Amino acid sequence: MSLKFFIDDVAVDAAVIDQGTVEQALHKVQSELSAAGKLVVSLKCDGCEVPSDALAATLDKPVTAFARLEVFTSTKETLVIEAMNQAAVSLDEAEAECRRIAGLLTEGKTADGIRALGDCLGAWQQIHDAVSKSIRMLNVDLGTSVAEGDRLAELIVRPREVLLQIKQALESQDHVLLADILQYELEEVTQQWHLVVDLVRGKALAEGAGTA
Reduced to 3 states (helix: H, G, I; strand: E, B; else coil), residue 38 is strand
Task: Read off the CATH number of the domain in which 125 is found.
Answer: 1.20.120
Residue 93 has φ and ψ, to the nearest 5°, of -65, -40
Same domain, residue pair 176 and 148: yes
Task: Indicate if the pLDDT at residue 211 is higher than 60.
Answer: no
Structural domain that includes position 41? 4-66
Same domain, residue pair 139 and 60: no
Q: What is the pLDDT of residues 159-179, one digit of tens each?
A: 889 989 999 999 999 999 999
Same domain, residue pair 165 and 82: yes
Counted domains in the chain: 2
Same domain, residue pair 29 and 90: no
Contact criterion met (CB below 8 Å) for 34 and 7: yes
Compare 71 and 52 and report the one with higher pLDDT: 71
Same domain, residue pair 117 and 161: yes
Q: Is residue 187 in a domain?
A: yes
Distance CA 89, CA 71 (A): 28
- pLDDT band per the 50, 70, 90 thresholds, residue 146: confident
Average pLDDT for 53-76: 93
Same domain, residue pair 149 and 207: yes
Q: How far is CA 26 from the centre of its chain?
A: 22
Distance CA 165, CA 186 (A): 10
Nearest to 74 by CA among 35, 127, 31: 35
Q: Is residue 72 in a domain?
A: no
Q: What is the pLDDT of residues 104-145, one digit of tens each?
A: 999 999 999 999 998 998 999 999 999 999 999 999 999 988
